[in-house]
Amino acid sequence: MVKDRMVELLQDHFELNLYEARAYVALVGFGVLTPAELASVSEVPAPRTYDVLRSLEKKGFAISQPGKVNKYRPVHPENILEKFIEEWQERIKDELEAKKKAKEELLELMTPLIETEIPKYGVERVWVVRGIRNATLKTKEMFEEVKETILLADDGYIAINLENDIIKAIDRGIKAKIIVTKQLLPRMQTSKLIDYYKNGKLELKVAEKLELPMLICDDEVFFALEDMAARYFNYETQIWIKDFRVKSLFEGKFNEYWEKAEKA
């Protein structure tokens, strides 16, 4: 119903609760209402009408006319909705600035902790990373910290979604060898990685399929455990390992793929 949709939009985007949204829609429809009248023409419970109308007035959506019985009329939707958006934009701007300042202060405060790499309980070299968001953050971190070489065997996520991070690493002088599946290659035709490949800035090959997709950055290895259900729900389990022996094993597998793969 149209009325329900109006109520939904007011709740979702203009910070009115359910009763306030219903009351405002009723005011727009009837023009002027007393609290008792509001209860009779809307789904706002009678005991709540006074509080709801006063709240609408406080938020700028209604104007009251004092008298023996207070009457309320709506502020024109075009005026109040536009005013709300303008105030929201200013508020968001202030919140964004506050978050930026908080980030800078936190980085300043945490710098001694970051630079003092003295582990309390030994060096952790194996981590489990779950979920697409956490996996993305870890992968971006690897690209930011890599010093020498990137080896990527990708079947559909990293090369497409993190191409800018790979490009930045290459621009810093990092050597990159990338294998992608044939299924993925058509999606990469507009990628900067293709341009970098054509210009000789990275090596790129294509494989029919990859049983073990992986990312190797120097001595760090990142790969996913096979779990189709978890992948479907974006909760795939990824393993990060920093160990030169494990890196050698995975690098050997990468080289097998590289030898069998074709030029892009």
Provide the 10 A C-beta neighbour count for residue 14.
18
Total domains in the chain come to: 2
Q: Where a domain ends, among 54, 75, 96?
A: 75
pLDDT above 60 (res 135): yes
Does 174 map to a domain? yes
Does 253 map to a domain? yes
Confirm if 181 and 213 have CB atoms less than 8 A apart: no
Residues for the chain: how many in total? 264
154 and 248 within one domain:
yes
Q: In the prediction, which pLDDT does 229 show?
A: 57
250 and 175 within one domain:
yes
Instruction: Find the angle CA(214)-CA(215)-CA(218) to the nearest 5 degrees.
Output: 135
Give this prediction's pTM: 0.57
134 and 33 within one domain:
no
Residue 122 binned pLDDT confidence (cut-offs 50, 70, 90): very low
Instruction: Find the angle CA(49)-CA(51)-CA(3) to the nearest 5 degrees.
Output: 50
55 and 130 within one domain:
no
Pairwise CA distance, residues 23 & 160, whole Å: 48
Arithmetic mean of pLDDT over the chain? 88
Tell me the residue range of the domain where 209 lies: 126-263
HSE-CB at 234 with a 13 A cutoff on CA atoms is 5
Confirm if 192 and 251 have CB atoms less than 8 A apart: no
Does 80 map to a domain? no
Torsion of Cα atoms, 110 then 115 then 116 then 118, to 10°: 110
pLDDT above 50 (res 120): no
Does 70 map to a domain? yes
Distance, C-alpha 201 to centroid of its chain: 30
CATH number of the domain residue 216 falls in: 3.30.870.10
38-97 pLDDT per residue, tens: 999 999 999 999 999 999 999 999 999 888 888 999 999 999 999 999 999 999 999 999
Q: Which one is predicted more confidently, 226 or 154?
A: 154
Does 59 map to a domain? yes
Pairing of strands 62-65, 71-74: antiparallel
136 and 258 within one domain:
yes
Task: For residues 235-256, give the mean pLDDT.
Answer: 90
16-45 pLDDT per residue, tens: 999 999 999 999 999 999 999 999 999 999
Pairing of strands 214-217, 203-207: unpaired
CATH number of the domain residue 66 falls in: 1.10.10.10
Pairwise CA distance, residues 215 & 169, whole Å: 14
Please give the structure tokens belonging to residue 77: 């939707």
256 and 133 within one domain:
yes
Does 216 map to a domain? yes
- E strands, 23-145, in order: 62-65, 71-74, 126-130
Does 40 map to a domain? yes
Q: In the prediction, which pLDDT does 40 show?
A: 92
256 and 177 within one domain:
yes
Does 157 map to a domain? yes
